[in-house]
Amino acid sequence: MNLPPLFRLLLILAALPAILPAAEPKSAEKTDAVKRHPLKGVITSVNAEKSALMVKHEAIPGVMGAMTMMFKVDAATLKAAQQGRAITGQMSRQGSSWVLEDVKFLPATKS
């Protein structure tokens, strides 16, 4: 069968995805890299229902000013958290939530 050159080219292009190996997806580490930022603040409240802490934190240079906001935390951090306790940790945005990881409780200061 004698096909016009343009039609032959279209047939070849249409067949390419079936004969070429599929490109490997990028690793999750590269595409899902979460930017974490050091945070220092004070717990203003503990919300067990939301697995979250309300934290009044210092400014995070290049990211945001000082403010009070809610952070999701893991179960162990939630259990150990106390209102008024000073903390440090790594803050990140994960999906629609702000998350606080690697939380360290600072020694209580004497009044």
Helices (H), ranges, 1-111:
5-19, 28-31, 75-80
C-alpha 17/C-alpha 109 separation (Å) is 65
Q: Does the structure show a pLDDT above 50 at 100?
A: yes
Long-range contacts formed by 8-12: CB under 8 A, 24+ apart: none
What length does the chain have? Answer: 111
What pLDDT does 29 receive?
Answer: 47
Partners of residue 41 on adjacent β-strands: 57, 87
Burial of 43 (0-12, 13-18, 19+ CB in 10 A): buried
Residue 111: per-residue pLDDT: 59
pLDDT of residue 30: 47
**Lowest model confidence (mean pLDDT) among 18-22, 45-49, 91-95, 103-107:** 18-22
DSSP 4: -
For 23-80, the pLDDT digits (tens) are 655 544 444 688 999 999 999 999 999 999 999 999 999 999 999 999 999 999 999 9
Model pTM above 0.75:
no
Q: What is the pLDDT at residue 73? A: 98
How far apart (Å, rounded) are the C-alpha atoms in residues 15 and 67?
Answer: 57
Which residue ranges form the domains of the chain, and what is each CATH number?
34-105 (2.40.50.320)
Distance from C-alpha of 13 to C-alpha of 19, rounded to nearest angstrom: 10
pLDDT band at 93 (very low <50, low <70, confident <90, very high): very high
